[in-house]
Amino acid sequence: MKRINWQIWAGFVLSLVAGLSYPFVFVRWPVTREFPWANLVLFAIALVLLFFGLRRAFKPEKRIVSKIFSSLAAAFGLLNLAALLFLIFVMGSWLPASLAAPQVGQKAPDFTLTDSNNKPVTLAQLLIEPINNKQPKGVLLIFYRGYW
């Protein structure tokens, strides 16, 4: 019976997990989001498995199919790693410079916007309205992309 090259399969699957677990799992915590420690560890294990699987498939007595498949699996693993690094370090930096955004010490421009109850609210109001019956010490304005 043909013995399966489990190393190449495991490496292949793990490299998929190593890539996909970033946007689905590790992006939730600052420690693993800002620098993908967890994913790099998973990729390291995946690449080791792929290496051993590649070595096994390239033994002289192995069929050409094994060699082709294992080469593709290894290439896929490396591509996954490259894609993750590109996403985080290249695409992540594709942000506008926002040079005119208010600096520390400057006045934050006042504005009026609607809240989630369709009520108009001004920044001035948000700075005065009490929190737990006490005067606020400040407002943290968080600009974000939206829910999607």
Which spans of this chain sit near other proteins (rule: CB under 8 A)?
A: 27, 30, 33-34, 88-89, 91-96, 98-111, 113-118, 121, 123-124, 126-129, 131-132, 134-148
Residue 111: which H helix or E strand, with range? none
Please report the sign of the dihedral spanned by the C-alpha atoms of residue 82, residue 85, residue 88, residue 94: negative
CB 99 to other proteins: min, Å:
7
CB 28 to other proteins: min, Å:
12
Half-sphere exposure of 147 (CA within 13 A, CB side): 0
> Looking at beta carbons only, is 60 or 109 nearer to other proteins?
109
> Looking at beta carbons only, is 1 or 116 nearer to other proteins?
116
Residue 122: which H helix or E strand, with range? strand 120-122
